[in-house]
Amino acid sequence: MSDNAKEVWKFELGDDSYKNIPFKTYGKNDFFAPFASGSAQYKTMIICPCSMGTLARIASGISNDLITRAADVILKERRKLILIPRDTPYSAIHINNMKTIAEAGGIICPASPSFYSLPKSFDELAATVVDRALDLAGFNIDTFRWKEGE
């Protein structure tokens, strides 16, 4: 979790409950983290949200922190990288960077909620983005599925 992610969490959720995440976290420049090496065999990486700065560094092959190094490893090992940008609108630079990542095998999954499931709350609406990302990552989740006649 980047320093910026922590600040966004505090601002948007109004707390610092990220400190209670029940798994190990790594420092921004901890290149000894296992996922900084392809030999660790991590299969999927999701960056959510993915800033346009992070996306640009990944597209340019700039591995100057743990997040961009891990993304570089995932791409070089031909594994699954899922980036969830939430910026809007996109500039031509953003679109070209997304194209570069898609051509390298990454998946761009914008944080665009779906409304066809008729979400009844903000949480349900946000879950449409989370569920889509988890689907892309290969998790078998119970979520709204489009069916003929709906």
Q: pLDDT by residue for the chain (150 residues), tens digit each?
A: 788 888 988 999 999 999 998 988 899 999 999 999 999 999 999 999 999 999 999 999 999 999 999 999 999 999 999 999 989 999 999 999 999 999 999 999 999 999 988 999 999 999 999 999 999 999 999 988 888 665
Tell me how crowded residue 98 is: count the other CB atoms within 10 A of its CB: 21
64/28 Cα distance (integer angstroms): 9
81/104 Cα distance (integer angstroms): 10
What is the pTM (predicted TM-score) of this model? Answer: 0.90
Question: How high is the pLDDT of residue 149?
Answer: 63
37/57 Cα distance (integer angstroms): 18
Q: Which two tokens stand for residue 63?
A: 């591995």
Give the HSE-up count for residue 115: Cα atoms under 13 Å, Cβ half-sphere.
0
Question: How high is the pLDDT of residue 55?
Answer: 98
Place of tokens 């999954």: 109
Tell me how crowded residue 59 is: count the other CB atoms within 10 A of its CB: 24
Question: How high is the pLDDT of residue 1?
Answer: 79
Question: How high is the pLDDT of residue 148?
Answer: 64
Residues whose CB is less than 8 angstroms from the CB of residue 138 and which lie 6 or more positions away in sequence, other chains included: 44, 80
Q: Are 83 and 108 in contact (CB under 8 A)?
A: yes
